[in-house]
Structure 1
Amino acid sequence: MEEKHPDLSRQADEILHRRKIPKKLWEETKKTWHIALPAMLTAVTQFSLELVTAAFAGHLGDVELAAVSEVQNVIDGFVYGVMLGMGSALETLCGQAVGAGQFNMLGIYLQRSWIITGVTALLLTPIYVFASPILKVARQNKDISELAGKYALWVIPQLFTYALNFPIQKFLQSQSKVWFMTIVSIASLALHVMLNWILVIKLNKGLLGAAMAGNISWWILVTVQIIYVISGRFPDAWTGFSWLAFKSLTNFVKLSVASAIMLCLELWYFTAIILMVGGLKDAAVAIDAISICMNLQLWTLMIAIGFNAAVSVRVSNELGAGKPKTAKLSIVVNVLTSGLLGVVFAAIVVGTKSQFPSIFTDKPQVMSKTSKLGYVLAASMFLNSIQLVLNGVAVGAGWQFSVALLNIICYYAIGLPIGAVLGYKVNMAVQGIWWAMLGGSFLQTVALLVIILRTNWQKEAQEADDRVRTWGGAAAPATEPQPRESL
């Protein structure tokens, strides 16, 4: 028999590989949307719980609305970021364990995270207890601070739901079991509206009623999810409570703290921008304008959050399974999809920059200032659609500490100082501050892209395998590991 020529064989393999690319892209796109869409809906509905509370508080009076807003934006905003960050270590560990077939470790990881986030919640409780003096030190109105202090005490139970909720989210997302979480969140939002109507409007319980409604809604949301996890629907992943949860806590804490620092540095960056704008001349108009823009940006961030979750799960799963090529394909699909949506949102803002401010205000000065921010808002929407996906890649691969250092350099060493110069010295006001903020985000995005492009993904897959073995602490895997990809 005539032997096949090596060159012809290689060409045939390349042609076959190229023909498979569209199919692989389509399959990866379906997997991405299966995670991203419910993650978006969950983010929107859980975020809307606070909006509903604020809306009902607004019917009580301006002071009540201001008190709730201060607790939500200052106290809750800080605590929520810390708790979400501390729970995000599970994105790396559970995702890689799923890829490696070590499903029996997911329940152990979940319990370890509950221990860590529970202790964190206890440590953060004094912030709620001393909310009133904290707000007064921040030079907030005395009457509003007093009422906010009372409300903060009433919503302490919600702090401990965060400690349970975020680890459960990561546990379910890592296995792509996300639709149940979305359905429960939507149902909790509907219940929250009804409870607020009964307690605040019908029974005249005021802010206490609003706090009670929030506590009940959050605890029902979390309780239903816990029952779902331990009810036997995850026989491989949940095998009951175990003392193994207290093993390897030190390494777990390190990754959790790195995750929290990474996320909080992102969130505090936006808070710092608002504070800088507050020091400008005609600050009231500037704050109104940037608040309108940031609210719009927040809704588009909900979309990007879906792809952040999707790429984190897909990258961690594929690295854990020893399939770095598939992990890289997932990065490409998520960046392109989220980036395309970012282009659409940016185009809408630019096309309506003279009209969209009228949706939020009828003050000519605010409308004019907001309209002038249209281009920088559009640029921010596009950049964030890429940046959040890259952050998801970092979490999936376990690079939280490195990204935290990157955030310090790009945001706090470069972005904020330049913002101060442009806003105050060059007199570019709010536009200068935001362009500087955007510059810091751009630098971080470029740095992450360079890191991702230069990464040895074969090595990352090996490190994921080592991490699962080192932190496993259990017997043989509950299921056979996936075949590892040829490199």
Structure 2
Amino acid sequence: MSSSLPIKGRASLDRVLEASSFLPSSYLSTTSFAQEIIARDLAECSSDELEDDDCDPDDGSEYDAAPGNHAAAALVSRPTGIAYGTLRPTIAGEAQGSLAVTAQDLLESRHAEQSLLRDNHILPPKHPRLPKDSIWKQLYRHMFSTKVPTDGLGPPLSPSTTKALEDSPLLQHDYLEAAASANIIKTTWQREAKTLTQYSRSLIVTFLLHYSVTVTSVFTVGRIGRLELGAVSLATMTANITCYAPIQGLSTCLDTLCAQAYGSGHKHLVGLQLQRMTYLLWMLLLPIATLWWFATPVLGSIIPDQDTAALAGMYLRVLILGTPGVAAFESGKRFVQAQGLFHATTFVLLIGAPLNVLANWFFVWKLNWGFNGAATAVVFTQNLLPLLLFLYVRFIEGMECWNGLSRKALGNWGPMIKLALPGMIMVEAQYFAFEVLTLAASQFGSAHLAAQSVLVTVTSTTFNIPFPLSIAASTRVANLIGARLSDAARTSAKVALVAGILVGLFNLGLLSSLRFQLPYLFTNDEEVASIVSRVLPICAVLQVFDSLAAISHGLLRGIGRQAIGGYTNLGSYYLIALPISFGVGFYLKWQLEGLWFGVAVGLAVVSSVELFYLHHADWSHAVEEAEMRMRSDEASRIELK
């Protein structure tokens, strides 16, 4: 097998074969809390002979069912732990579980490895080049070909070895690892640009579809009046801080628990963790509902405009009916993601987003419910999405991890809460740092509060382009690091940063050129539109820093340094952005322009710090750390089995 490898590759083959028995789960790591929870559940199942049907482990996991087993999954291209927020999407932090690899993932990984080997001239080209190409084909190849220049590369493999590689995922993976260890696997910016585009395009659609629920509500209310638009902004801020952020943060622990259960082959525990988290979140909704029911006097004591406070309180009372659906959907997304069914959420949103538009028209204009109709449409959508997700799992795929309702979901909450609290604190801190600006804007009057609603909606919508790109960059870099291709990972990171700059410049140009037109998409109020048009140039410049910060944070996740990005974000918001925003907004009386100026400065600091760290990071050391983590993940998976 090794005789056809280039000379440098043969010397490292033995060492690579030893390492290739582990799944390269990149930057993912297990936690002691997660292992404790799974172990307790397994012990309880094994000790309860009366409920065998509820606790049968499914040993036929996707790991063992797929040809070539998980050793062939060097370039699995799925992200993990995605959370679609009501304000801005986030991604789970360090507490992750073993990557669940499906047969489709293995097939995609195999094709990606074959393509990479062909581009490095280790495998013969799939389509041999013609003796004479036209000048246009030569120009196209020069600009867009993913082939690596041939200088210094060894000869291609023999036909017999080529056939073996294409027929055997395991052999192919061994050759890829050996070539990577010999440092002869390279990549090009063309390949990385193509890969990042493939990874991110569906994510961008998914994130924009999900955020369209919020955008549609703002569009609708903005047509009713200035006071109503400001009230929605105030109500959304309250809902995000007191409900949506805690729910999203607590449910991130399922990224660890469900992935850990699925990866260890105990699929029945995935459904058990889903039930347990859903019950916990529903219990927490009781005090939240009480707070929202009496929100009017609370908000009235904080903001000067009592009419706005009264409308916001009424809006929150209606939203109480949608909170069970929000909790169920957040938990349900983790349930399908743990099984590798990331497209399930996309299919749900492809149906839910248009129905949300229809619901806004029906309740607000057809039934003439006005402001309450807009809140009712939100409640309708919030409860529709988990129902659609349930129907997808029930009738399409995902039922293998559901073993029915279980009384065991009512116990073993302690370790789960300990695992969930750090995620909740991090997400809550991120939301509060951004949402407090809405509270500050309310001090300037109803027009400024309404303008703040428009500005938050616009900037959050544009953020849904670079953020999915950052997830794609994180996934790609993590896969290359896991495959021990540090040079290729560096190249991919550079391409991602350039793409981030281009996206930021595109958003900058869009907001700058449409600064006088965009406000009227949301409101007909001249004063509100004037305020928005004055602040939009600051938001336009902010786009470049926002995009770079998103990409940089994604790259830090890819090399296993997500904690640095998290702390940098929080430190910059609380120590730099907010003090500058309040100082310039209130002391210098720049008002809304000052609030957003502070945000722009904070994001500039975030992007600068993260880019500085990435420039000086030791990417080879990241490869070594990834190997240690994947060995730990594999050992934990075997132990839990």
In the superposition, the TM-score normalised over structure 1's length comes to 0.74
Over the residues paired in the alignment, what is the CA RMSD in angstroms?
Answer: 4.6
The alpha-carbon deviation at position 268 of structure 1 amounts to 2.3
Are 1:156 and 2:320 an aligned pair?
yes
Q: Is the 8 A contact 1:85 1:264 kept in 2?
A: yes
* 1:131 corresponds to: 295
Closer/same/farther in 2, CA of residues 179 and 256 from structure 1, 3 Å limit? same
For residue 543 of structure 2, the aligned residue among 376, 381, 405 is: 381
Residue range with higher mean Cα deviation, 155-164 or 354-363: 354-363
CA distance in 2, matches of 1:439, 1:290: 18
* 1:454 corresponds to: 617
Q: Which amino acid in 1 is paired with 2:543?
A: M
The alpha-carbon deviation at position 263 of structure 1 amounts to 2.7
Q: Percent identity, aligned pairs only?
A: 22
For residue 332 of structure 2, the aligned residue among 152, 168, 185 is: 168
For residue 153 of structure 2, the aligned residue among 12, 28, 47 is: 12
**Cα distance per residue 1:295-316 (max 9 Å; x no partner):** 3322201223423554566677
Q: Which amino acid in 2 is paired with 1:442?
A: A
For residue 85 of structure 1, the aligned residue among 246, 249, 255 is: 249
Q: Is the 8 A contact 1:75 1:127 kept in 2?
A: no
The alpha-carbon deviation at position 158 of structure 1 amounts to 1.0
The alpha-carbon deviation at position 136 of structure 1 amounts to 1.7
The alpha-carbon deviation at position 163 of structure 1 amounts to 0.9
The alpha-carbon deviation at position 369 of structure 1 amounts to 6.0
Closer/same/farther in 2, CA of residues 371 and 220 from structure 1, 3 Å limit? closer
Closer/same/farther in 2, CA of residues 366 and 31 from structure 1, 3 Å limit? closer
Are 1:463 and 2:626 an aligned pair?
no
* 1:481 corresponds to: none
* 2:139 corresponds to: none
For residue 437 of structure 1, the aligned residue among 589, 599, 614 is: 599
State how 1:171-250 maps to structure 2 within 5 Å.
Answer: 171-173=335-337, 177-203=341-367, 210-231=374-395, 233-234=397-398, 237-238=401-402, 250=414
In the superposition, the TM-score normalised over structure 2's length comes to 0.59
CA distance in 2, matches of 1:156, 1:190: 23
Residue range with higher mean Cα deviation, 324-333 or 83-92: 324-333
The alpha-carbon deviation at position 265 of structure 1 amounts to 2.5
CA distance in 1, matches of 2:609, 2:390: 39
* 2:53 corresponds to: none
Closer/same/farther in 2, CA of residues 202 and 140 from structure 1, 3 Å limit? same
Are 1:256 and 2:420 an aligned pair?
yes
Q: Which amino acid in 2 is paired with 1:12?
A: L
The alpha-carbon deviation at position 358 of structure 1 amounts to 6.9
CA distance in 2, matches of 1:102, 1:71: 43
* 2:129 corresponds to: none
Does the residue aligned with 2:398 lie in a helix, a strand or coil?
A: coil
Q: Which amino acid in 1 is paired with 2:577?
A: G
CA distance in 2, matches of 1:102, 1:333: 37
Closer/same/farther in 2, CA of residues 7 and 239 from structure 1, 3 Å limit? closer
* 1:303 corresponds to: 465
CA distance in 2, matches of 1:44, 1:209: 19
Does the residue aligned with 2:600 lie in a helix, a strand or coil?
A: helix
* 2:144 corresponds to: none
Q: Is the 8 A contact 1:91 1:170 kept in 2?
A: yes
Q: Is the 8 A contact 2:275 2:405 kept in 1?
A: yes
The alpha-carbon deviation at position 186 of structure 1 amounts to 3.4
Q: Is the 8 A contact 2:218 2:229 kept in 1?
A: no
Are 1:37 and 2:197 an aligned pair?
no
For residue 272 of structure 1, the aligned residue among 411, 415, 436 is: 436
Q: Is the 8 A contact 1:262 1:400 kept in 2?
A: no
Q: Is the 8 A contact 2:429 2:570 kept in 1?
A: yes
CA distance in 2, matches of 1:225, 1:268: 29
Are 1:346 and 2:512 an aligned pair?
no
**Cα distance per residue 1:307-327 (max 9 Å; x no partner):** 3554566677788x7768587
Q: Is the 8 A contact 2:473 2:493 kept in 1?
A: yes
State how 1:302-321 maps to structure 2 within 5 Å.
Answer: 302-311=464-473
CA distance in 1, matches of 2:409, 2:480: 25
Q: Is the 8 A contact 1:199 1:210 kept in 2?
A: yes
Q: Is the 8 A contact 1:42 1:181 kept in 2?
A: no
Closer/same/farther in 2, CA of residues 366 and 454 from structure 1, 3 Å limit? same
The alpha-carbon deviation at position 122 of structure 1 amounts to 3.7
Residue range with higher mean Cα deviation, 423-432 or 181-190: 423-432
* 1:484 corresponds to: none
* 1:414 corresponds to: 576
The alpha-carbon deviation at position 33 of structure 1 amounts to 2.4
Q: Which amino acid in 2 is paired with 1:51?
A: V
Residue range with higher mean Cα deviation, 129-138 or 384-393: 384-393
The alpha-carbon deviation at position 432 of structure 1 amounts to 4.3
Aligned pairs, how many?
A: 466
Closer/same/farther in 2, CA of residues 161 and 7 from structure 1, 3 Å limit? closer
* 2:236 corresponds to: 72
Q: Is the 8 A contact 2:336 2:344 kept in 1?
A: no
State how 1:109-120 maps to structure 2 within 5 Å.
Answer: 109-120=273-284
**Cα distance per residue 1:325-359 (max 9 Å; x no partner):** 58777655554434321221113334555766676
Closer/same/farther in 2, CA of residues 90 and 8 from structure 1, 3 Å limit? closer
CA distance in 2, matches of 1:62, 1:368: 13
Q: Is the 8 A contact 2:218 2:232 kept in 1?
A: no
Does the residue aligned with 2:387 lie in a helix, a strand or coil?
A: helix
The alpha-carbon deviation at position 460 of structure 1 amounts to 4.4
**Cα distance per residue 1:97-141 (max 9 Å; x no partner):** 88x686836545544543443344344333222222222222354
Does the residue aligned with 1:12 lie in a helix, a strand or coil?
A: coil
CA distance in 1, matches of 2:226, 2:448: 21
Q: Which amino acid in 1 is paired with 2:195?
A: E
Closer/same/farther in 2, CA of residues 346 and 81 from structure 1, 3 Å limit? same
CA distance in 2, matches of 1:148, 1:201: 20
Residue range with higher mean Cα deviation, 342-351 or 12-21: 12-21
For residue 46 of structure 1, the aligned residue among 202, 206, 213 is: 213
Does the residue aligned with 1:233 lie in a helix, a strand or coil?
A: coil
The alpha-carbon deviation at position 246 of structure 1 amounts to 7.2
Closer/same/farther in 2, CA of residues 331 and 241 from structure 1, 3 Å limit? farther
Q: Is the 8 A contact 2:504 2:544 kept in 1?
A: yes
The alpha-carbon deviation at position 438 of structure 1 amounts to 1.9
Q: Is the 8 A contact 1:394 1:403 kept in 2?
A: yes
CA distance in 2, matches of 1:316, 1:109: 27
* 2:160 corresponds to: none
CA distance in 2, matches of 1:357, 1:210: 20
Q: Is the 8 A contact 2:448 2:531 kept in 1?
A: yes
CA distance in 2, matches of 1:143, 1:356: 27
Does the residue aligned with 2:464 lie in a helix, a strand or coil?
A: helix
Q: Is the 8 A contact 2:577 2:598 kept in 1?
A: yes
Q: Which amino acid in 1 is paired with 2:538?
A: V
